[in-house]
């Protein structure tokens, strides 16, 4: 690979990354492009979420998804990426994963009785 080919590949990837960054900013933030991180860090601190554990990392993602939903709701914005319905599905999936992480961390796994 020569220098020109390398630069073309990197420039192409950088352009795609910038497009994604700009479009996701619309869904997650307000005029302060870092607002979602600021809100989520405050919530995680208030809730005592320790992201050094699988359960804590999972709960961080739950808070992040909730923040996204609330940001879209406040702005009455149409998402540019993931639909609101997909966001709700993801939110539920993160909660299911949180239960699994909680169970593995705190409790002995239990068999579910099927009726």
- The answer to whether residue 93 is domain-embedded is yes
What's the chain's length in residues?
Answer: 115
Examine the pLDDT at 114 and tell me if it is beyond 60. no
Q: Which of 6, 71, 3, 74 is nearest to 33 (CA)?
A: 71
111 located within any domain? no
Among the listed residues 66, 96, 109, 98, the one whose alpha carbon sits nearest the alpha carbon of residue 84: 66
Task: Identify the domain containing residue 52 by its residue range.
Answer: 3-106
pLDDT tens profile 31-58 = 898 998 999 999 999 999 999 999 999 9
Of the segments 9-13, 24-28, 105-109, which one has the largest average pLDDT value? 9-13
pLDDT tens for each residue of 74-101: 888 788 888 899 999 999 999 999 999 9
In a domain, 115, yes or no: no
Q: Per the domain annotation, does 114 fall within a domain?
A: no
Question: For the chain, how many structural domains are there in total?
Answer: 1
Contacts 24+ apart (CB under 8 A), 20-26: 23/80, 23/81, 24/80, 24/81, 26/77, 26/79, 26/80
Q: How high is the pLDDT of residue 107?
A: 79
CA distance 40 to 56: 13
């Amino acid at each position: 690979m020569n220098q020109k080919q390398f630069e073309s590949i990197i420039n192409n990837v950088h352009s795609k990354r910038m497009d994604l960054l700009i479009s996701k900013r619309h869904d997650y933030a307000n005029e302060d492009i870092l607002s979602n991180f600021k809100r989520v860090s405050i919530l995680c601190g208030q809730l005592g979420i320790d992201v050094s554990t699988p359960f804590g990392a999972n709960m961080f993602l739950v808070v992040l998804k909730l923040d996204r939903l609330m940001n879209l709701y406040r702005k009455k914005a149409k998402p540019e990426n993931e639909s609101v319905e997909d966001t709700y599905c993801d939110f539920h999936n993160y909660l299911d994963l949180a239960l699994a992480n909680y169970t593995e961390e705190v409790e002995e796994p239990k068999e579910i009785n099927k009726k």
